[in-house]
Homo-oligomer: A and B are copies of this chain.
């Protein structure tokens, strides 16, 4: 009963944060221009940011800032820039993955064509840095530059992870082991989903750089990696088994896309060589040539061989490790048992144990 009340509180907090962040983003992005084409650019730039989403990354940043004693208002610009990051990178991601839908609506390049959509992604990317420069008025030059450096690292990691995944597809590579997979997920998802937002919140919440903080920032990489891996595995599991109404994306979409998930790696490893060949043949087909039966076949094999249960157990292992790491960080910073620590911990639990 108590856990249920906490989840309700957490969800309310997330949506309140999201409203604040959305307001900053939509006030910041330009609105109208006397030139018709530029006005259309502005409309396109507002498209993804106006489509909703949970705003998890922004909330992590806000929560970690408060956790370390900072004011929420000092982290709002950074939290908003994190959400802008996700939006521009999703515009390019949808082109790269040939996705048709984003949050239930046509992907941007499906609405306006690929050339314009690439340019809109770049324009929004530029706006992210412009927004971050406004930190100077709120938190001063030193923290402004520290946050810019964090964004730079986050972008390096994310593009490296994206390169790994896109190369696997482009080169039809299927002999991927779990280490490859964890490296890809850490780079492509963990950094921008958890490591960087938490580190940025910590920087903004701490009055001044210290040796303890530098150690805690390092430990946050470990914790955020574990959260991110667990989060991504759950995301991929949900793509197979979620309730369609709650989920909002296409069930089995990852199989149609030929995505290398932990379940696929487990399935290929545990199949006979002839079956392995058949599964790779199905997964490698272009999306348009894959039938519902093809996808269903792969899914059934995953179920039979326990690939989904295996992935859940790995996610659980990473989730537990993340919580242990979080508790250790709280203990070292004398924040154990604080109200803020409880709510931040519940967000980690939520991200790694959610069912939609």
Contacts and interface: CB of A to CB of B under 8 A. Distances in A.
Contacts of A118: 92, 95-96, 118
A164 B35 contact: yes
Interface stretch (A59-67, A123-131, A321-329): A123-131
Interface in A70-111: 89, 92, 95-97
A166 interface: yes
A40 B163 contact: yes
Contacts of A122: 89, 92, 121, 125, 155, 159
Interface residues of A, number: 51
Given A118-B92, A164-B37, A170 B126 contact: no
A149 interface: yes
26 contacts: A35-B180, A37-B164, A37-B167, A38-B160, A38-B163, A38-B164, A40-B167, A92-B118, A95-B114, A96-B116, A96-B119, A116-B166, A119-B159, A119-B162, A119-B163, A119-B166, A120-B163, A121-B122, A122-B155, A123-B156, A126-B152, A126-B156, A130-B156, A136-B145, A141-B145, A144-B145
Interface string A133-174: 100100001101100110110011001101110111110000
A259 to B, nearest CB: 14
A265 B252 CA distance: 51
A145 B40 CA distance: 30
Closest 6 CB pairs of A and B: A126-B155, A123-B159, A96-B115, A41-B163, A37-B167, A130-B152
A129 B148 contact: yes
In this complex, the member of A122, A156, A169 whose beta carbon has the largest number of chain B beta carbons within 10 angstroms is A122
A115 B129 contact: no
A145 B115 CA distance: 31
A129 B156 CA distance: 11
A207 interface: no
A272 B167 CA distance: 53
Nearest to A39: B163
Given A41-B163, A126-B152, 6 more contacts: A33-B160, A35-B180, A37-B164, A40-B163, A96-B116, A129-B129
A113 B172 CA distance: 14
A165 to B, nearest CB: 9
A286 to B, nearest CB: 14
A183 interface: yes
A162 B33 CA distance: 15
Nearest to A33: B160
Contacts of A145: 133, 136, 141, 144-145
A240 to B, nearest CB: 24
